[in-house]
């Protein structure tokens, strides 16, 4: 019951993300016409959870978990249920996915997952959550680990 409550809280958090920040307005460089306006990139328009939060989520009904480490890192050990989408392929992968689907993103230390989350936000995803602490912390806590390849 507690796991269901945590999963529901995560879903509510993810669904409310879009309302938290309005998109940045278009700005034209000084001396440029409105036709040449550029859109500045959005930043940090995604939520963050800890590995403990992730561990407490029930598998059924929770957002999909993608691991953005390289294929060999993923195959050596990953969170059970995660699918491998290496960082270099996230943009292409995102173009083939349903944008309303909530996603959790994990890597080894947090740098690649943060970059992947921003790429997904830039691609139009609104319900993205970065897993802080990532697989390094997951392994330190001795949480269950799976091995082998499983590409998205």
The answer to whether residues 142 and 74 touch, using CB atoms and an 8 Å cutoff, is no
117 is catalytic: no
Q: 7, 20, 62, 107: which one is catalytic?
A: 107
The answer to whether residues 82 and 66 touch, using CB atoms and an 8 Å cutoff, is yes
Please choose, from the candidates 69, 60, 40, 46, the residue with its C-alpha nearest in 3D space to the C-alpha of residue 139.
69
DSSP sequence for 28-80: PPTT--GGG-BPPPP-S-SEEEEHHHHHHS-STTSPEEEE-S-HHHHHH-EET
Length of the chain: 152
Q: Which residues are catalytic?
A: 107
């Amino acid at each position: 019951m507690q796991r269901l409550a945590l999963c529901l809280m995560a879903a509510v958090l993810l669904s409310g993300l879009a309302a938290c920040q309005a998109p940045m307005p278009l700005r034209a460089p000084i001396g440029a016409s409105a036709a040449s306006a550029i859109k500045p990139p959005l930043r940090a328009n995604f939520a963050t959870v800890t590995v403990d939060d992730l561990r407490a989520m029930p598998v059924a009904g929770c957002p999909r978990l993608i691991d953005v480490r390289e294929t060999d890192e993923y195959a050596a050990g990953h969170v059970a249920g995660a699918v491998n989408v290496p960082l270099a392929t996230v943009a292409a992968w995102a173009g083939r996915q349903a944008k309303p689907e909530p996603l959790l993103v994990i890597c080894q230390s947090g740098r690649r997952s943060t970059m992947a989350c921003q790429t997904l936000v830039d691609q139009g995803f609104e319900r993205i959550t970065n897993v802080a602490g990532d697989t390094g912390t997951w392994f330190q806590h001795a949480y269950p680990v799976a091995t082998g390849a499983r590409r998205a």
